[in-house]
């Protein structure tokens, strides 16, 4: 499969399996706590396949235009198709961009929303800095992300699997995955340092349930998105397969015919750009 075909497949998987479940958990926080502007321009950073950006635009009305930005042209192709089907072409636009280098001048948008739910935590400071930069003075900036203690059940099993197959030399990888997730205080302080005031945050505990280790490891959210990053440092395919097999065994042994729950702390931080 070519790289382009692989990216197209990932875009479809994201649209079919990730956005309707994972994405909606984070979108609900934005829907509940973010006030949409009555007019002007809004920006959605990491808009994915566009479903939530389009829903926000429809709620905001004809006096608000939404621009969706993402790093995947394949995802944005799906977003543009949705926009055309909903006849929202005049109010929406989707563009490819690097999230740490948004292609806009300063002080442009009344609202900037960012979805960092599947973004590596080390990228957050630069992404949030860019979001604040392009927001208009007094404008709202809102970022969602998983915070510390998310994925704890899996990380514990991951460490145990490495230990069981004599790969404890790789344990620092798991420790890094645990400690890199920012606390709620961390992300609030980051928002303040980047130039936001009236900073507030909200967190929901969310669970994703799987009937077996096989179902967990084969779920598109896990297999094609989360595990890609969590397993990235393990380059050897044979070792990769051994770790996966041991993770499956541990999950099936420990769940005792019940479901395996992957829990996250879905967090939204919101602030106003200093005038």
Tell me what the mean pLDDT of segment 95-101 comes to: 95
What confidence score (pLDDT) does residue 22 get? 96
Q: Where are the beta strands (DSSP E) in 22-167?
A: 40-45, 64-70, 92-96, 109-115, 135-146
What confidence score (pLDDT) does residue 1 get? 66
Tell me what the mean pLDDT of segment 204-231 comes to: 95
Mean per-residue pLDDT over the chain, rounded = 94
Distance from the first to the final alpha carbon of the chain? 50
Chain CA centroid to CA 252, Å: 28
Bigger pLDDT: 94 or 5? 94
Between the alpha carbon of residue 252 and those of residues 177, 227, 230, 239, the distances in Å are 23, 18, 20, 20
**Residue 168 confidence class, pLDDT cut points 50, 70, 90:** confident
Q: Is the per-residue pLDDT at 127 higher than 90?
A: yes
Residue 172: partners with Cβ closer than 8 Å, 6 or more residues away: none
Q: Where are the beta strands (DSSP E) in 60-195?
A: 64-70, 92-96, 109-115, 135-146
Starting at the earlier edge strand, list the strands of the sheet with 109-115.
92-96, 64-70, 40-45, 109-115, 135-146, 260-273, 196-210
Mean pLDDT lowest among 25-29, 41-45, 178-182, 233-237? 233-237
What confidence score (pLDDT) does residue 91 get? 84
Cα separation, 143 vs 67, in Å, equals: 16
Tell me what the mean pLDDT of segment 113-136 comes to: 97
- Percent of the chain predicted with pLDDT > 70: 100
Between the alpha carbon of residue 246 and those of residues 18, 168, 169, 189, 263, the distances in Å are 25, 14, 16, 39, 20
Q: Is the per-residue pLDDT at 90 higher than 80?
A: no
Q: Is the per-residue pLDDT at 69 higher than 70?
A: yes
**Residue 233 confidence class, pLDDT cut points 50, 70, 90:** confident
**Residue 255 confidence class, pLDDT cut points 50, 70, 90:** confident
Which residue matches tokens 């928002």?
191
- Kindly state the tokens that stand for 204: 């929901």
Q: Is the per-residue pLDDT at 274 higher than 80?
A: yes
Tell me what the mean pLDDT of segment 151-160 comes to: 96
- Domains, the chain: 1-147+182-208+265-275 (3.40.50.150), 151-180+212-258 (no CATH)
What confidence score (pLDDT) does residue 234 get? 80
**Residue 246 confidence class, pLDDT cut points 50, 70, 90:** very high
Q: Is the per-residue pLDDT at 160 higher than 70?
A: yes
Q: Is the per-residue pLDDT at 48 higher than 90?
A: yes
Q: Is the per-residue pLDDT at 193 higher than 70?
A: yes
- Kindly state the tokens that stand for 73: 């042209």
């Amino acid at each position: 499969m070519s790289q382009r075909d692989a990216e197209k497949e990932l875009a479809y998987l994201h649209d079919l399996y990730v956005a309707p479940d994972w994405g909606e958990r984070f979108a609900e926080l934005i829907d509940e706590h973010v006030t949409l502007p009555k007019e002007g321009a809004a920006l959605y950073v990491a808009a994915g396949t566009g479903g939530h950006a389009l829903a926000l635009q429809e709620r905001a009305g004809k006096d608000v235009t939404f621009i969706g930005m993402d790093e995947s042209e394949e995802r944005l192709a799906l977003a543009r198709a949705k926009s055309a089907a909903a006849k929202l072409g005049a109010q929406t636009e989707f563009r490819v961009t690097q999230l740490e280098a948004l292609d806009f001048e300063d002080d442009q948008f009344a609202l900037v929303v960012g979805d960092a739910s599947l973004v590596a935590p080390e990228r957050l400071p630069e992404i949030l800095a860019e979001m604040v930069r392009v927001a208009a003075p007094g404008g709202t900036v809102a970022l969602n992300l998983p915070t510390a203690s998310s994925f704890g059940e899996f990380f514990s099993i991951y460490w145990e699997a490495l230990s069981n197959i004599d790969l404890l030399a790789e344990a620092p990888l798991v420790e890094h995955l645990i400690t890199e997730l920012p606390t709620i205080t961390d992300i609030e302080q980051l928002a303040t340092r980047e130039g936001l005031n009236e900073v507030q945050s909200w967190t929901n505990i969310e669970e994703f349930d799987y009937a077996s280790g096989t179902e967990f490891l084969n779920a598109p959210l896990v297999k094609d998105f989360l595990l890609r990053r969590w397993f990235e440092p393990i380059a050897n395919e044979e070792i990769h397969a051994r770790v996966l097999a041991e993770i499956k065994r541990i999950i099936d042994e420990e769940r005792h015919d019940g479901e395996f729950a992957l829990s996250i702390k879905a967090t939204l931080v919101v602030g106003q750009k200093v005038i």
